[in-house]
């Protein structure tokens, strides 16, 4: 067993211990939660690209499920750091791509359903939940408005790094965020995330006009 | 008209204030509501209901019996009046809590002798299908006979309450590539995906929006779809695998949603965009 594997094993067992600890203080009714899990395991069938493995909660999903999305702060911080460690920043340090490509990607909500063709590329799904460019009127409100985000919060290297990281793995900053972990799950690659960072932060992007 | 022009100009200039968006959305909603009101005078769901009535009364299946003479939806054998609004409920003969569609399927299998897998093979009308499956017509027929009645899911029955609480837990369960649960979209007030308003099914006001209008005639495609279909398609959009047809996972979610809508009036099979 090499050092990396040992670290990984330690991290997994720590996470498991934290989840077990959290469960004893969880607010949910244990019987119905356990029953729900049994039913979920039994009452689905694979279809298209959507296999039954998708029903298994990973450690982040598991603790959010067990605590109604409000894990104890110490656990949340520990696990957010583990998620942050998964963010792969581009080797050359360039974090902003082409905002026009980013806009196109933000528009698409395709991908990952049992009807979709398996594989990449998939859409960024951004407008499903966020207001972004003022030209797009059909936007969702599950997430906050991102209109003028670059104008308001600037586009410093730190800000670019934050936005890149947030799109790559939202759980690194808010463990039970409703936002998918686009880079972490391999839905979006580095260049695509860079294009989205540009859409949000580039002074030339309509978002910041 | 004036609104449309100002929106057009605002679009060209790219200086659209949020207010204009709200106005355009309201106009779209109003247009649809007007159309729906006009349509409801001759609700296309009635065609499916009439077919459903024939199927309900016809002797069918290997056992050659009708549902009218064999199927108890909770109000006595053959009684449809008020049954839809009082389901899901517990059925002692099946030993399970069942929603309307699941119960009718159970009757088709147990009383008429149909094969479950044959029914489950294609339980919903597809976009290009010229007719709806028998089960959809039957659900529509049964639902029509609860029009104007308050939802009355018997939550005082411990078995129904268990299904309700299990359903509530299922709506919280996050998994899959996008970490979504039912509640990602339907757990808080006032949210939208794109232009689509999302009912918060944990509240009475949201739950009634979620259950109202099902089964529904979908204007895009001109097809009839049941509430079971709606839950099935939610799981697709959640990026989950497919829920088994007429299974407990669906019943529990429907028990939770419909139970939260208890006391509010069901308007009968509806029209959906």
- The predicted pLDDT at position B42 comes to 75
What integer pLDDT is reported at residue A153 of this predicted model?
97
Q: SS3 for A4?
A: helix
What is the SS3 assignment for B7? helix
- Would you say A99 and A124 are in contact if contact means Cβ atoms under 8 Å apart? no
Span of A67-81, A187-201, B35-49, B117-131 with lowest mean pLDDT: B35-49
Q: Which residue in the block uniquely carries the two structure tokens 């119905």?
A: A32
* pLDDT for the residue numbered B33: 72
pLDDT in tens, A181-190: 999 999 999 9
B180 beta partners: B175
Three-state helix/strand/coil letters over A14-78: HHHHHHHHHHHCCCCCHHHHHHHHHHHHHCEECECCECHHHHCCCHHHHHHHHCCCCCCHHHHHH
Which pLDDT score is estimated for A43?
98
Q: Minimal Cα distance from B169: which residue of A?
A: A33
Nearest to A73 by CA among A175, A197, A178: A175
Query: Closest Cα to residue B255, out of B135, B169, B155, B149?
Result: B155
State the pLDDT at residue B22: 54
Q: Please compute the mean of the pLDDT values over residues A169-181 and round it to a whole number.
A: 98
What is the rounded CA–CA span in Å between residue A178 and residue B234?
Answer: 16
Could you tell me which residues come within 8 angstroms of residue B25 by beta carbon, excluding any fewer than 6 positions away? A137, B195
**Which residues of B participate in catalysis according to the annotation?**
234
Percentages helix, strand, coil for chain A, rounded to the nearest 5? 50, 0, 45
Q: Check pLDDT > 60 for residue A15.
A: no
Q: Report yes or no: B241 at the A interface, CB cutoff 8 Å.
A: yes
Higher pLDDT, A132 or A12: A132
- Please state, rounded to an integer, the average pLDDT across all residues of chain B: 90
Encode pLDDT of B207-217 as tens digits.
Answer: 999 999 999 99
Q: B194 forms bridges with which residues in the sheet?
A: none
DSSP per residue, B32-74? HHHHHHHHHTT-THHHHHHHHHHHHHS-BTTTTB-STTT-B-S
Of B174, B195, B196, the CB nearest to A61: B174
Mean pLDDT of B75-85: 98
Residue B121 has pLDDT above 60, yes or no: yes
pLDDT digits (tens, 9 = 90+) for B46-72: 999 999 999 999 999 999 999 999 999
Angle at alpha carbon of residue B118, lines to A45 and A116, rounded to 5°: 40
For chain A, domains (ranges, CATH) are 3-84 (no CATH), 99-208 (1.10.760.10)
Classified as helix, coil or strand, B199 is coil
Searching chain B, which residue's CA lies closest to the CA of residue A27?
B169
Q: Are B215 and B226 in contact (CB under 8 A)?
A: yes
**Minimal CA separation from A101 to chain B, in Å:** 19
**Which 3 state secondary structure label does DSSP give A201?**
helix
Interchain CB contact of B273 with A (< 8 Å): no
**Interval B162-207: pLDDT, tens:** 999 999 999 999 999 999 999 999 999 999 999 999 999 999 999 9
Cα angle, residue B175 at apex, residues A131 and A182 outer, rounded to 5°:
45
Percent of chain B with pLDDT over 90: 82
Q: Is the pLDDT of residue A34 over 70?
A: yes
Task: Name which of B194, B237, B256, B259 to mutate to probe chain A: the one with the most chain A Cβ atoms within 10 A of its Cβ.
Answer: B194
CATH dotted code for B21-272? 1.10.760.10
| A127-139 confidence digits (pLDDT tens) | 999 999 999 999 9
- Best mutation target among A26, A36, A176 (most B Cβ atoms within 10 Å) is A36
pLDDT, position A13: 44
pLDDT-derived band at B20 (thresholds 50, 70, 90) equals low
Res A69 pLDDT > 50: yes
Tokens of B36: 């729906």
What is the rounded average pLDDT of the residues A145-153?
97
Across the range A186-209, mean pLDDT stands at 98
CB-based contacts of A124, cutoff 8 Å, min separation 6: A102, A105, A106, A107, A108, A182, A188, A192, A196
Q: Can you tell me the mean pLDDT for A149-177?
A: 98
Structure confidence at residue A12 as a pLDDT band (50, 70, 90)? very low
- DSSP tag of A145: P
Q: Is the pLDDT reported for residue B40 higher than 80?
A: no
B22 touches chain A (CB under 8 A): no
Q: Which two tokens stand for residue A71?
A: 């894990």
- Residue A17 pLDDT more than 90? no
Note whether A207 and A106 are within 8 A (CB): no
Query: B161 and chain A: CB distance < 8 Å anywhere?
Result: no
């Amino acid at each position: 067993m090499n050092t990396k594997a040992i670290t990984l094993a330690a991290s997994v067992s720590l996470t498991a211990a934290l989840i077990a600890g959290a469960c004893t203080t969880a607010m949910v009714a244990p019987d119905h939660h356990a029953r729900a899990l049994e039913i979920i395991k039994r009452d689905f069938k694979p279809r298209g690209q959507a296999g039954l493995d998708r029903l298994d909660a990973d450690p982040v999903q598991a603790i959010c499920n067990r605590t109604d999305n409000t894990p104890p702060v110490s656990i949340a911080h520990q696990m957010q750091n583990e998620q942050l460690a998964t963010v792969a920043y581009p080797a050359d340090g360039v974090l902003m791509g082409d905002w026009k490509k980013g806009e196109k990607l933000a528009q698409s909500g395709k991908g990952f359903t049992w009807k979709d063709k398996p594989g990449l590329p998939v859409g960024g799904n951004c407008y499903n939940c966020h207001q972004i460019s003022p030209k797009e009127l059909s936007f969702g409100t599950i997430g906050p408005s991102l209109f003028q985000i670059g104008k308001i919060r600037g586009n410093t290297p730190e800000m670019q790094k934050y936005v890149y990281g947030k799109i790559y793995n939202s759980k690194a900053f808010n463990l039970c965020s409703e936002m998918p972990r686009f880079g972490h799950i391999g839905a979006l690659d580095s260049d695509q995330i860079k294009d989205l960072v540009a859409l949000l932060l580039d002074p030339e992007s309509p978002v910041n006009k | 008209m004036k609104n449309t022009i100002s929106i057009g100009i605002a679009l060209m200039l790219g200086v659209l204030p949020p207010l204009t968006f709200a106005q355009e959305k309201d106009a779209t909603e109003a247009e649809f509501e007007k159309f729906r009101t006009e349509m409801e005078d001759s609700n296309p769901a009635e065609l499916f209901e009439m077919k459903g009535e024939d199927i309900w009364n016809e002797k069918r299946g290997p056992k050659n019996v009708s549902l009218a003479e064999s199927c108890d939806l909770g109000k006595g054998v053959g009684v449809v009046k008020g049954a839809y609004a009082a389901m899901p409920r517990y059925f002692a003969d099946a030993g399970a809590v069942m929603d309307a569609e699941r119960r009718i399927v159970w009757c088709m299998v147990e009383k008429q002798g149909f094969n479950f897998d044959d029914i489950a093979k294609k339980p919903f009308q597809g976009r290009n299908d010229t007719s709806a499956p028998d089960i959809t017509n039957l659900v529509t027929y049964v639902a029509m006979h609860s029009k104007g009645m308050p939802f009355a899911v018997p939550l005082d029955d411990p078995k129904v309450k268990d299904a309700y609480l299990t359903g509530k837990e299922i709506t919280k369960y996050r998994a899959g590539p996008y970490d979504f649960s039912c509640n990602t979209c339907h757990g808080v007030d006032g949210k939208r995906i794109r232009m689509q308003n999302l009912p918060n099914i944990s509240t009475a006001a949201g739950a009634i929006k979620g259950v109202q209008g099902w089964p529904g005639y979908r204007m895009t495609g001109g097809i009839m779809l049941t509430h079971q279909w709606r839950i099935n398609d939610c799981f697709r959009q959640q990026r989950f695998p497919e829920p088994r047809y007429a299974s407990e996972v669906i019943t529990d979610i429907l028990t939770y949603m419909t139970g939260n809508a208890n006391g509010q009036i069901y308007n009968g099979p509806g029209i959906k965009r």
